[in-house]
Amino acid sequence: MTRNLKRPSLKRLAALSAAAVAIAWSGSAAAQSDTDTKDFAVVGNVPAMCVGGTLTGTGATFDMGVLIDINTGLLRNDLAAPPKILSGSFCSARSTITVNATPMAAQTFTSTPPAGFSRLVDYTATAAGWTTTPAAFATGAGSNPAAVQTRGTAFSGDITVSVGSFSTVGGANQRLVADTNYQGNVTVTLAVAS
Amino acid sequence: MPRGLRLETVLVVGGLLAWASPAFAQSTVATKTLPVTGNAPPVCAVGSPRLAPGSQINFRGLSGNTLQIDQMIDPTTLAVSAASVDVKFDAVCNYPHRLRLESQNNGLWPTLQRTLPPAPGFGSAVPYRATVMWGVVNGVLNADAQARRVNDQRFNIDLPTAGEIDLKLNIAPGASNARDNAPLLAGDYADTMRIFVEPR
């Protein structure tokens, strides 16, 4: 036991040595006039990322209700729905906003409709607020060059998504087959631009 | 001094790990999908009748929903004169449905029902034939005037149909509920035809 006190183990020596170093650093800062500087590199990065925000208001679905004039069977010409607001969207770098959409399609009546009838409804989806020119996608168009819009700076804000300009695929004189569920989808994508 | 360098290295690496982790959890792409929904309820509709051009023989025309026969009998024989007409209706039914053609009287019968039996040898009602075309249906209703009653024909249609209902009414010359070419008792004769497009 006495010998252990006089000759501490290697582990104990290492601990004492580390403590002595720490004391020496704090002592030198307070008591000496010349300075000793240690540079600690503190680095990090902010990755380019986009977050789509959350929907405000009544759910994510554009519920258009009854699509047809029940006296004629033709598509109503007054179809409208309140826009959806994606709040708190942000991108930390240059970004693109892309809107895509699929026609509203009868979900039960999936076969080819007879002459004079259609099971598809075209429309235009628009995403505004992110770029000067809103991104817009018409489901009946052969190409949609306006569907992708670029913003040169990071941005945080609301995106207003709207649907409109509904039309029956096949022409205005086509009737919609009866179906309890017509559905399409609007997809809004924020992406970091390369 | 070497110990200090070692410490510095540990700090730097620790910082990278701590800050890099949340970044990897984020994405460079954010997507939201918004469904667009609606419904098209079952609907059948029939428009107002109109005469097919050039289709009427011995009819005065269409007044509202009434077809008026011009000369009902041959004045020399008192037998029924031939008459025919073609009436069209714009119509639509956007689901599988049934077409029902109904004659209220099963022929043209006197508007004032008699209390006495008809005179022997005379006709007291006029049979006619109604032909209807609608989509895939080409049907016939024979209103034979053998009894005064409702007579109807029903046709199931498996497909939504839009277009025209084409109704042809034809009274044969000499048509009678007694015998062919029997003279017809004096009076006003009428029937009501109804066309239904309805759920099956």
Domain segments of chain B as ranges: 55-198
Q: What is the mean pLDDT of chain A?
A: 85
Q: Which of B31, B20, B36 is nearest to A89 (CA)?
A: B31
Element (H, E) at A17: helix A10-31
Instruction: Give me the residue from A55, A123, A189 closest to B29, CB to CB.
Output: A189
Could you tell me the sign of the dihedral formed by the alpha carbons of A175, A177, A181, A185, in that order? Answer: negative
- Does residue A130 sit in helix, strand or coil? coil
- Predicted confidence (pLDDT) per residue in A75-124, tens digit: 999 999 999 999 999 999 999 999 999 999 999 999 999 999 999 999 99
Q: What is the pLDDT of residue A26?
A: 41
User: How far is CA B170 from each of CA A4, B173, B184, rounded to the nearest angstrom?
Assistant: 130, 10, 17
CATH code: domain B55-198 is: 2.60.120
Per-residue buried b or exposed e for A4-21, using 16+ beta carbons within 10 Å of the residue's own CB: eeeeeeeeeeeeeeeeee
Q: What is the mean pLDDT of residues B119-134?
A: 94
pTM score? 0.76
User: How far does the CA of residue B148 sit from the closest CA of chain A (Å)?
Assistant: 35
User: Which residues in chain A (112-131) have CB-CB distances under 8 A to chain B?
Assistant: 113-117, 121, 123, 125
Identify the residue with better confidence: A194 or B25. A194
Quick one: A41 exposed, middle or buried, by C-beta within 10 A (0-12, 13-18, 19+)?
A: exposed
Beta carbons within 10 angstroms of residue A128's beta carbon: 19
Inter-chain touch B28–A191, beta carbons under 8 Å:
yes
pLDDT beyond 90 at B104: yes
Instruction: Give me the phi and psi of A91, to 5 degrees please.
Output: -130, 135
Q: How far, in Å, CA of A93 to CA of A86, rounded?
A: 19
Read out DSSP for B125-191?
-B-EEEEEEETTEEEEEEE--SSSS-EEEEEEE-S-EEEEEEEEEEE-TT--SSSTT--B-SS-EE-
**Helix (DSSP H) and strand (DSSP E) numbers for chain B:** 1, 13
- Looking at the partner chain, which of B20, B27, B40 has a beta carbon nearest the beta carbon of A179? B40
Q: Which of A40, A43, A182 sits opposite B37 (nearest CB)?
A: A182
